[in-house]
A = this chain, B = another copy of it.
């Protein structure tokens, strides 16, 4: 969109006013028609050679006066109905107006902005963000295998990969799951996907119509819940406690899909006990629902085996199991997998094909070799040991500086949730205070509850990841947090 606007710096009138006047004129004269999307402020600023702030201020004024309106995540539009005082068009010129035309429809996508989906470390000195430690990535080994693969099989890089995934990787994952997760399936049931995020898409494409009900945990993982929301599903949030989803609050009637994180409830951290898992499966059976079991933290278990996966407990073939390598290796690989019942393999592969024709060849082939050679085992043992030490360090530091802290999610995953006692300010304030000291901590924000905050402890729950910090940083961070909060805590009464 190129707007016919000319600003004159030699005039006394500020650029912002000139821009406002000219835009208003274009709207009134119907050169910019109702429901037209305006060019984004940064691009208009570039086009005109002025600061973005100037453009923003002009837009803001037009919004305040009712000429423009913003639609979140989509853009700024000319209002359908203009303010009364807008005079009738004075000029009706050129062929743009002569042609019969329909306005370009605005995008259907009205969902939430991407920034809130991807968890990224904040710009802090010490960030308790819970993602993998990039320094631990086995780069030398990965390089060696990559070089070997390119030298031996390099032409494969140009061939269309099988949509379901490279066969050797599917096999390596099947073996892995049998040996380590008690999930015994044929490699045909494994479909390689672009991370767990794509698995949510495939499950939705298979079973979710607009208006269908999808059960989610509340608070829950926004990567999944935002997607379901964007597809027009009706979300039914079920509350959680320190042991995961409160399955006695699952809804009656028909449900299309349920999304659960039973290993380490995202974000509170609870592990769903066996009895609740059985109840959940029976509920799904009666509701006619498929269960997405998101086991992205499944490789991080620090105490014993934990309850069996929903997948291995399921007699009905209604569990769609999802795992990922984003947490153990790295999100830059964009590799995860789904384990589906045999009768869904064809449809799953068909949907994957229609989505992107398969994942890239190189990462899959290197990863298959990495797993098959035993390197993944070695790497995981090392990572698990390191994370466990860091977890111990965090828990120790919290107890040292804050006494008897109430923590959940200690036995699994890469972060803990801390229920702050009443002597603390609300969690968002703790986060602010910490940020001012260069320390990054996380809260159960509104995002996690996907629009309806069921979690009664949202205001006093803090999330602290330990995986990406060295022990010294953890101790310094908690000490700094204690210091920062010193003046903000009420003296405990009695």
Interface set of A (CB-CB < 8 Å, partner B): 1-2, 37-40, 42-43, 46, 73-75, 99-105, 107-109, 111-114, 117-120, 131-132, 134-135, 137, 139, 142-143, 146-147, 150-151, 154-161, 163, 186, 188, 193-195, 197-198, 201, 205-210, 223, 226-227, 230, 254, 256, 282, 285-288, 290, 315-318, 326, 329-335, 341-347, 349-363
Contacts and interface: CB of A to CB of B under 8 A. Distances in A.
A287 B102 contact: yes
B158 A333 contact: yes
B360 A360 contact: yes
Contact of A197 (B2, B226, B357): B357
B107 A207 contact: yes
Given A114-B163, A286-B101, A362-B362, A357 B343 contact: no
Nearest to A163: B114
Pick the 5 closest A-B CB pairs, nearest first. A158-B330, A102-B288, A332-B361, A114-B353, A160-B331
A313 to B, nearest CB: 14
B150 A350 contact: no
A342 B43 contact: yes
A105 B257 CA distance: 10
Contacts of A1: 316-317, 341-343
A350 B155 contact: no
A357 B227 CA distance: 11
Contact of A158 (B46, B104, B134): B134
Nearest to A161: B332
Given A108-B208, A113-B346, 19 more contacts: A39-B342, A73-B347, A99-B286, A101-B288, A107-B347, A114-B163, A114-B352, A117-B357, A137-B155, A137-B157, A139-B155, A156-B332, A158-B331, A161-B332, A194-B355, A201-B355, A205-B230, A223-B354, A334-B361
